[in-house]
């Protein structure tokens, strides 16, 4: 059965026929406006007449038969895991679609390899990855790569960049946060990390002068104080217009939860 499916996958055209842009990868018909379903590994797209032959029974979700057993490496493709397939909805029953999506999300080969995710310089183990993905506010679109994580405030971002999200604080994942984690050049430090220019502008918009290279402590609830002082200056997220400023600077704000 598998052999027949593999044969059915191959295009029934000569090798010297070039694929037209936007056409089906199997029959080479259609255009970019033709409804197609894409493989979550290689990105090959198939029309309604070819998709079931090209993907077979889909034991690992929407994959070409030749891609079964292969990992998903592209961040954009991983973000589509389990999303409702519009084309397959026209060809299969709701029960079959639900089963295929469940397999796509849960099968082992489609899971993110824990040692491909580095947090504060250390690769995660399987237990830490589960903690990270199952916390109340997990990172969105988590993909292989290097990230920094401020366990005190919950700030999260890619190494060398500004924070992109605020996740659950106090998670036991990764190593210690380094001063140069976000490649900041401001001499202003929050929770031992030198912040970026956009974060400095956000602090200044909140009324902080930030003169004399200050070091701040920022808590998960948004309360902050200067290092060495017991006086809490207030809650950064309650400052007037601060959320608007963060939106303009593409900085994260706490989730509603």
pLDDT digits (tens, 9 = 90+) for 71-83: 987 777 887 888 8
User: CB within 8 A of 224, min separation 6: which ones?
Assistant: 190, 216, 217, 218, 232, 233, 234, 235, 236
Among the residue ranges 86-90, 153-157, 195-199, the one predicted with the least confidence is 86-90
Q: Indicate the pLDDT class of residue 163, thresholds 50, 70 and 90.
A: very high
Q: How far apart are CA 47 and CA 54, in angstroms?
A: 10
pLDDT in tens, 167-185: 999 999 999 999 999 999 9
Between residues 144 and 13, which one has the greater pLDDT? 144
pLDDT of 99 strictly over 50: yes
What is the distance between the alpha carbons of residues 80 and 63, in angstroms, rounded to a whole number? 12
Least confident piece of the model among 72-81, 149-158, 183-192, 247-256:
72-81
Question: What pLDDT is stored for residue 53 in this prediction?
Answer: 95
Question: What pLDDT is stored for residue 148 in this prediction?
Answer: 98
Query: What's the CA gap between 135 and 146, in Å, rounded?
Result: 19
pLDDT band at 257, cuts 50/70/90? low
Residue owning tokens 């004399």: 212
Give the percent of the chain with pLDDT over 70. Answer: 92
Question: d(Cα 61, Cα 128) in Å, to the nearest integer?
Answer: 26
| Res 15 pLDDT > 50 | no
Q: Residue 4 pLDDT > 70, yes or no?
A: no
Residue-wise pLDDT tens digits, 36-73? 999 999 999 999 999 999 999 999 999 999 999 999 87
Q: Write the DSSP string, the chain.
A: -HHHHHHHHS-SS-TTPPPPTT--TTT----TTS--EE-TTT--EE-TTTHHHHHTT-BTBS--GGGTTPPP--HHHHTTTTPPPTTGGGTS-HHHHHHHHHHHHHSGGGSPPGGGEEETTEEPPHHHHHHHHHSSSPPTT--SEEEEE-TTT-EEEETTS---EE--SS---SSPPPTTTT---SS-EETTEEPPHHHHHHHHHTT---TT--EEEE-TTSEEEETT-----EEGGGSTTHHHHHHHTT-------
* pLDDT of 154 higher than 70: yes
Is pLDDT at 88 greater than 80 in this prediction? yes
């Amino acid at each position: 059965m598998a052999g027949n499916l593999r044969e059915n996958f191959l295009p029934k055209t000569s090798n010297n026929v070039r694929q037209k842009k936007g056409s089906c990868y199997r029959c080479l018909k259609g255009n970019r406006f033709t409804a197609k379903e894409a493989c979550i590994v290689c990105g090959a797209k198939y029309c309604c007449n070819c998709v079931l032959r090209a993907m077979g029974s889909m034991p690992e979700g929407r994959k070409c038969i030749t891609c079964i057993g292969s990992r998903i490496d592209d961040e954009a493709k991983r973000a589509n895991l389990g999303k409702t397939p519009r084309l397959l909805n026209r060809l299969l029953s709701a029960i079959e679609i639900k089963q295929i999506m469940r397999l796509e999300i849960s099968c082992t080969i489609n899971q993110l390899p824990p040692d491909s995710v580095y947090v504060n310089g250390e690769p995660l183990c399987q237990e830490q990855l589960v903690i990270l993905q199952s916390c109340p506010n997990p990172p969105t679109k988590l993909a292989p790569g290097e990230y920094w994580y401020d366990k005190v405030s919950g700030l999260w971002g890619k190494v060398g960049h500004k924070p992109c999200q605020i996740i659950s604080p106090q998670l036991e994942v990764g190593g210690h946060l380094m001063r140069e984690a976000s490649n900041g050049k401001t001499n202003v430090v929050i929770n031992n990390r030198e912040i970026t220019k956009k974060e400095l502008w956000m602090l200044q918009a909140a009324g902080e002068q930030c003169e004399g290279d200050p070091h701040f402590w920022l808590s998960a609830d948004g309360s902050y104080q200067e290092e060495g002082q017991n006086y809490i200056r207030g809650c950064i997220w309650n400052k007037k217009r601060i959320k608007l400023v963060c939106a303009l600077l593409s900085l994260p704000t706490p989730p509603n939860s």
